[in-house]
Structure 1
Amino acid sequence: MATHYDDVYFSVDNGLAESRYVFIEQNQLLQRWSQHLSSHYVIAETGFGTGLNFLATWQHYQQHCQQQPNTPVKRLHFISFEKHPLSLGDLKQALQAWSELLPFSEQLLEYYPQIMTAGCHRLLFESPIPICLDLWIGDVHDNLPELVTPSQGLVDSWYLDGFAPSKNPDMWSPQLFEQMARLSKPQASVATFTAAGFVRRGLNEVGFAMQKGKGFGRKRDMLVGHYQGEPQAKDLLTRLYQRQAMRSGEDLAIIGAGIAGVSLAYAMVKRGVKVSLYEKNKAAALEASGNRQGAVYPLLSPTQQPLTEFFQHAFNYHHQLMLQLKHQQREVEHQFCGLLQLAYNEKSQKKHRKVTEAGYPSELVHAVNAEQASELAGLSLSSEALHYPKAGWVDAQQCVQTILDAALATGLLEVHYQHELIDYQQHESYCRLIFTGHEKHHHNVAFCQAHHLLNLTQAAQLPLSPVRGQVSHIKSNPSLAKLRKVLCYEGYLTPAYQQQHCIGASYLRNQVDLELRTQETESNLAALRHCQPQAWNQHLECAEVAGRVAIRCAVRDHLPLLGQLPDLNRLLGDDYQNNWQTADSPVHSRSFLAVGFGSRGICSAPFATELLAAQLCGEPLPLKASTLRSVHPQRFWNRRLLKGRPMS
């Protein structure tokens, strides 16, 4: 029972049969899947509830794929909106009613978001048939306008569900129908259990051809129809922040085998795309992605909502990735042991108060006093802290290698080491990649080589900065071995792993030499002692390998550059400057990038590259349009245009 609306989620007697009849049969999904012209099919639903419609659709899609192994639909996307998500316990109890859906509901329960924040949670299920669920949390009227829509539309079929119009009139509004029209592909189907006249008239007014059909069971009528309206013209923001896709059947070259390049390769081969990965070193993860222990936690800033939203979803997605790899028997050394962000001075205390006052779920973060922090950490601490219960650390180099192994297992990935890119030329139908002693041609290229991208003429003006970082490796001892949480302050300290701890890291902008410096080791130790003057950190000893240096690639707003490579010569030229309000934003076609992850790539790059992979394949994007604009490679110039400021 949904107390918000005084209505039921489903009938225990015939809920599954009703879902199949109203949504699967009346949308004619089996027939539409067999005749579909694209490799992916998108269903959107206006009320997730218990997930019954999703699970029934998943089951039917599996049966369809088994009966028609050559079906043109290779990937099914299910987008669902829910204002009042069920708790995991309530969801588990509700789904017990449908034993035949058990193989699917067990997976839903396992991947159901542990931290239920607003926005889109992408859940990827690989077995037995791949299917993608985008679960949008929040009011449907807030979230529908945030879906990025390609020029040809996004949605192939609609499940217009939710509680009855008489119980939930706010949802069944003209704004809902207008957004459905905006998102619909030509001839998109729609089915709904209601036969209310204002629903039929509202949908007809925005371009749907609706008619009554036979209702389920004792219900006499329902509504079915198709979208017959015209695709909507691109608005100004869509042109400025455009996101183009690759052409179907084309291949992709990826430059750089760090966490971004390898994660993108993994996301693309899972979609059936042939990928060639080029790395200038002799192995993967030898640069910034190669640390022994990388901290995994979200960057929260209540005054910068896009930053917080991006990292919340990236953090959740990282947990899901670890679970996916585990199911493939590909273990990565990690501990989601929790993390304490220490309020060691007045400035950090002020930041922490803002986070606490923002009202984030306690499962994500909550405040603890010094005594509680000490008990959680297993060591004496003198500061209050923010506790991230589900954060922790991961063996970064092993994580990259494990993702790479999973991608290689598909047979769609080729890896080429000791290939340093020195030049690049984009032609009408391919990209020419010039390496030292080699030349390769590919349909498309994605640049993931961090600050090395600045060496290319076409990318030299991108707002990227190399940042030297030195991590120190410290021998464990009886006192330090008690540490149970990752500690963050001016630097960070990890729990023991293979009898060592990591302390880091220096942050020296525009320095790129890779020699270990004694001074930076001393600075790392001094930062820990300054922020936490405790007996346990006064006599620490460096390990045999005293540390590691790598060069991060940072952007000043702490968000990556994710999308198409801007054509900055044209962007800054007079022709575009005089016509930017009506012209498409100038980009290098067939050329994409995922760079600028700073010191948080191990947490954020897998989600970011899932976003880019969805863009490249023309699929739904699992992030609000307003937040996507905050990771767009042209965002700094676009903001100047919109504010009428000089571009230089």
Structure 2
Amino acid sequence: MKTDHAKVHFNEQGTPVADDFDDVYFSNDSGIDETMHVFMAANRLPARWLTHQHSHFVIAETGFGTGLNCLVAMQAFAEFRKNNPNHPLKRLYIISTEKFPLQKEDLQAALAHFKAVAKPADALLAQYPCALSGCHRLQLNSFDTTLDIWMGDIHASLPQWHAPLHGLVDAWFLDGFAPSKNPDMWTDALFEQMARLSKKETTFATFTAAGIVKRGLQDAGFDIQKVKGFGRKREMLAGHYAGCKQQDASRFPRDWPYARFEAAPLTTDSHVAVVGGGLAGAASALALVSRGIRVTLITRAGILADGASGNPQGGFYPQLHATPSPASQIQAHSFLYARRAYQQLAAHYAYPHQWCGVLQMDFTDEVAARHQKLTDNQYWPAALIQKIDARQASEIAGIPLTCGGIFTAEGGWLSPPDLVEAMIKQAKDSTLLTVLTDHAVSQIESADAVTLHIEHLEAPLSFDHVVLATGADSVSSLLSDVLPLRPVRGQVEAMPADGTTPGKLQTVLCHKGYLTPQTDGRQALGSTYVKGDMNTEVRANETQQNIETHKKALNSQSWVEDIQTDGVARAAIRLGLPDHQVVCGSLPATLEQQPAWRELAKGKRLSTMPRPPAHRIHVLTGLGSRGLTTAPLMADVLASQLCHHPLPLPEALLQAISPQRFIIRNAIRNQNDN
């Protein structure tokens, strides 16, 4: 749901001041010098990066504010990478929380004074997200940095951070308005979560030396030192976590069957197979090679994107509900992440697309009422949806419309097969990706490694891990034994745009079906939904069904009779699950393998259950008709899991997409695995 923006004014020195807290965002004397002294130096950065032997380093911050601390850190990290190109440390993760995010205009004004960080500031402003609660992952690749901005109350956010048993965070920037101004943040609950998320010897630094902070950190297991403060502040606190991580595992119980960091993390020596040449496979391969992992992508077809990812045009927009359900939250954040990812990709690898917006029409009174409720509840920011009337709809669409609807201005259409090709080209340019077409995997064996038996190859291929991104092919694979897969046939017409009114369409129209603007003289008109049908031959009756669906929904439009097709169409199979969510994670354990989980039916808590076994087989599938929206973020979740990097979704949403969820639900209900 939406979060409230910060209310600020700028004082005589040009420093932003929070009206609600009557406190400055940074020192009037020098914000950058304050960051360097309080957070960088006290955490011994960048000196610690030189001795860090892992591929990534995680800074967690307890108040994003203007982002100045993050900009200083990411610029210093970029300099470190420039001076140490062969160092094993390749990526900086910064995880920051913010209850009241600044409006972009205020952020731009605040950062304009800091010319020394102008380049990282521009990179931040180019991707600065809308005010929506949850995690916004920004890939700031020119600074080798991933920035996660968690919007919302810190006491709600930190418990949702999924962490390995040994901890997640390497250094804390304990920021935020002063304890006297903002006592709700500086609580024992905060310090306890810091302990849960810290590794052994994780450092922290904070500008304050207040007794409540000192005592709270000590009680949570941190060793404290008072050091010289910045400017006119006499003292500040710094130190490290000295608690026992083995004891922390029992101090902080989790829903263990949903644990994601069970296998050893991938390294640059790892070799991963991605099976599937569609959007899920391409996104998975790209997410892995971007982390320095060697990947071989394997597809049974002779070309990429031969399945549901092969339609020439696809509408791109989030499917939201009137209340912020897990499904809606996943859609919203997936859409925003994908939009940033596709924009970055298009800057270097061209593919057909158009950010023309998507109009979901009020084509019946019932739908109009639902759309009105969707906007009246004000859960979603205008960057996602806006309510518009018939006049506005006609102006946006470029053709006459007699009804309004809800409009997603950041949406549009993309060519899925060309998008897949662009992703694969970017991944290949890393020199870490090999693509094998015409290679059908017939058998998978998993032990100390994963062995793939492939038709027409005499010797099997061996990998450290495998990701099954097999779409509709999953129905005839080992996934069908552990997941309730639901194939759905869909036929889309490639309607000629021959100068009639529909051919002048300038946005994507959605109702019971959808109609896109033209490209190369054709418009996509779709789509049918035939459950359980795996046949992909084009059918004349489904062409007629598509036409009738549009004419019925648009019967009040004067140009509806201009909708005609000439027989050019394409049918493909989408794959879904009963709850309409993707599956993203390790291959699920069964109740046969984990009989203790049957105790869940007796009311036992998930936190008392044994953790699932480590697995080398993983899955990303079930994207249904929303693959353009969900694929990039889900692929990033999976790659982050495999590398033990911070995850860009809260625990509740990770559980909603976990492949393990069906087995756990069945155990609670005392049912069989499927």
The answer to whether structure 1 residue 228 and structure 2 residue 236 are counterparts is: no
Query: How far apart, CA to CA, are the structure 1 residues paired with 2:591 and 2:301?
Result: 31
1:240 correspondence with 2:257 = yes
- In structure 1, the residue matched to 2:298 is 278
| CA distance in structure 1 between the partners assigned to 2:253 and 2:193 by the alignment | 18
User: What SS class does the counterpart of residue 200 from structure 1 fall into?
Assistant: helix
What's the counterpart of residue 646 of structure 2?
620
> How far 1:378 sits from its partner (Å)?
2.0
Report the counterpart of residue 256 of structure 1 in structure 2.
276
| Residue of structure 2 aligned with 1:45, choices 61, 66, 74 | 61
Q: Partner of 2:7 in structure 1?
A: none
Kept in 2, the 8 Å contact 1:382–1:532? The answer is: no
Q: Does 1:133 align with 2:147?
A: yes
- In the alignment, which residue of structure 2 is the partner of 1:491? 513
Q: Work out whether 1:268 is the aligned partner of 2:268.
A: no
Deviation by residue 1:530-571 (Cα, 9 ceiling, x = unmatched): 00112322133325x611111111112221000000133635
Q: CA deviation at 1:344?
A: 1.9
1:62 maps to 78
1:237 deviation in Å? 4.5
Does residue 124 of the first structure (1) align with residue 139 of the second (2)?
A: yes
Describe the SS at the equivalent of 1:313: helix
Aligned equivalents of 2:466, 2:395: Cα separation in 1: 50
Q: Which residue of 1 aligns with 2:563?
A: 540
Letter of the 2:562 partner, please give it.
H
Q: 1:554 aligns with which of 569, 576, 579?
A: 576
| Alignment correspondent of 2:381 | 361
Match of 1:469 in 2: 490
Distance between the aligned counterparts of 2:351 and 2:482, measured in 1? 37
Residue 630 of structure 2 corresponds to residue 604 of structure 1: yes
Contact 1:454 1:461 (C-alpha < 8 Å) held by counterparts? no
Determine helix, strand or coil for the equivalent of 1:163.
coil
Q: What's the counterpart of residue 432 of structure 1?
A: 451
Counterpart position of 2:540: 518
State the distance in 2 between where 1:437 and 1:222 align: 67
Report if aligned partners of 1:34, 1:72 keep a CA contact under 8 Å in 2.
no
**CA distance, structure 2, for counterparts of residue 210 and residue 575 of structure 1:** 42
Unaligned runs of 5+ in 1: none
Give the counterpart of 2:586 among 555, 564, 582.
564
Q: Which residue of 1 aligns with 2:118?
A: 102
Amino acid at match of 1:48: F
Residue by residue over 1:68-90, the C-alpha shift from the partner in whole angstroms, topping out at 9 and shown as x without a partner, is 33333111100011111111111
What amino acid maps onto 1:66 in structure 2? Answer: K
* Residue 387 (structure 1) shift: 1.3
Tell me the amino acid that sits aligned with residue 628 of structure 1.
L
Distance 2:272 2:433 in 1: 10
Query: Given residue 356 of structure 2, which amino acid in structure 1 is its aligned partner?
Result: C
Instruction: Quote the residue 2:403 is aligned against.
Output: 383
Q: What's the secondary structure of 2:568's corresponding residue?
A: strand
CA offset at residue 589 of structure 1?
Answer: 1.2
- Seen in structure 2, the aligned counterparts of structure 1 residues 21 and 615 have a Cα distance that, compared at 3 Å, is same
- Corresponding position of 1:531: 553
CA distances 1:19-69 after superposition (whole Å, capped 9, x unpaired): 011100000022221122321110000111111100100111122222333
Any idea what SS the aligned residue of 1:29 has? coil
TM superposition shift of 1:323: 2.2
- Amino acid of the residue matched to residue 27 of structure 1? N
SS in 2 for 1:612: helix
Provide, for residues 414-453 of structure 1, a one-character-per-residue CA deviation record: whole Å limited to 9, x for no partner: 00000111111111x1011111122211110000011212
> SS of the residue aligned with 1:356?
helix
User: Letter of the aligned partner of 2:101 in structure 1?
Assistant: P
**Equivalent in the alignment of 1:19:** 35
The CA distance in 2 between the partners of 1:616 and 1:539, in whole Å, is: 51
Please point out which of 509, 529, 552 is paired with 1:507.
529
Q: Deviations over 1:271-305 (max 9, x none)?
A: 00000100111111111111111111011123461
Helix, strand or coil: the match of 2:592?
A: helix
Q: Does the 8 Å contact 1:33/1:71 carry over to 2?
A: no
CA 1:143–1:504 in 2, change beyond 3 Å: closer, same or farther? Answer: same
The reply to whether residue 322 of structure 1 matches residue 322 of structure 2 is no
Match 1:413 to one of 425, 433, 445: 433
Candidates 339, 344, 350, aligned match of 2:358: 339
Paired letter, 1:199: V
The question of whether the paired residues in 2 share the 8 Å contact of 1:33 and 1:72 is answered with no
* Residue aligned with 1:538, SS: helix
Q: Which residue of 2 aligns with 1:210?
A: 224
Inter-partner Cα distance in structure 2 for 1:260 and 1:503: 23
Amino acid at match of 1:617: C
Compute the displacement of 1:325 (Å). 1.4
What SS class does the counterpart of residue 570 from structure 1 fall into?
coil
Distance 1:310 1:564 in 2: 19
TM-score, with length taken from structure 2: 0.92
User: 1:218 corresponds to which letter in structure 2?
Assistant: R
Residues 351 and 422 in structure 2, CA contact (< 8 A), matched pair in contact too: yes
Q: Residue 482 of structure 2 contacts residue 588 of structure 2 at CA under 8 Å; is this kept in 1?
A: no
Distance 2:413 2:254 in 1: 38
| Partner SS for 2:126 | helix
Q: Does the 8 A contact of 2:95 with 2:147 survive in 1?
A: yes
Change over 3 Å in CA distance of 1:236–1:23 after alignment to 2: closer
- Matched letter for residue 238 of structure 1: D
Q: CA deviation at 1:13?
A: 3.2
CA-based RMSD:
1.8
Aligned to 1:453: 474
Provide the rounded CA distance (Å) in 2 between the counterparts of 1:563 and 1:574.
21
The 5 A counterparts of 1:156-175 are: 156-175=170-189
SS in structure 2 of the partner of residue 566 of structure 1: coil
Partner of 2:97: 81
Aligned residue in 1 for 2:423:
403
Q: CA deviation at 1:647?
A: 5.3
Q: Is the 8 A contact 1:23 1:192 kept in 2?
A: yes
Q: Identity over the aligned pairs, expressed in percent? A: 39
Aligned to 2:11: none
Compute the displacement of 1:2 (Å).
1.1
**Secondary structure of 2:329 counterpart:** helix
Aligned residue in 1 for 2:9? none
Question: Which amino acid is 1:542 matched to?
Answer: T
Q: Shift in Å at residue 382 of structure 1?
A: 3.2
Cα gap change, 1:16/1:201 in structure 2, threshold over 3 Å: closer, same or farther?
same
Q: Partners of 1:643 and 1:187 in 2: how far apart?
A: 43
The code of the aligned residue for 1:225 comes to: G
Match of 1:189 among 203, 213, 229: 203
Q: How far has the Cα of 1:350 moved from its partner?
A: 3.9
Shift of 1:588: 6.6
The structural deviation recorded for 1:370 is 2.8
Q: 1:299 aligns with which of 307, 313, 319?
A: 319
Deviation string 1:566-616 (CA, Å, 9 cap, x unpaired) is: 133635x64553598544354571110000000110121011101111111
Which residue of 123, 147, 152 corresponds with 2:161? 147
Amino acid across the alignment from 1:520: E
Amino acid at match of 2:395: E
TM-score, length basis structure 1: 0.96
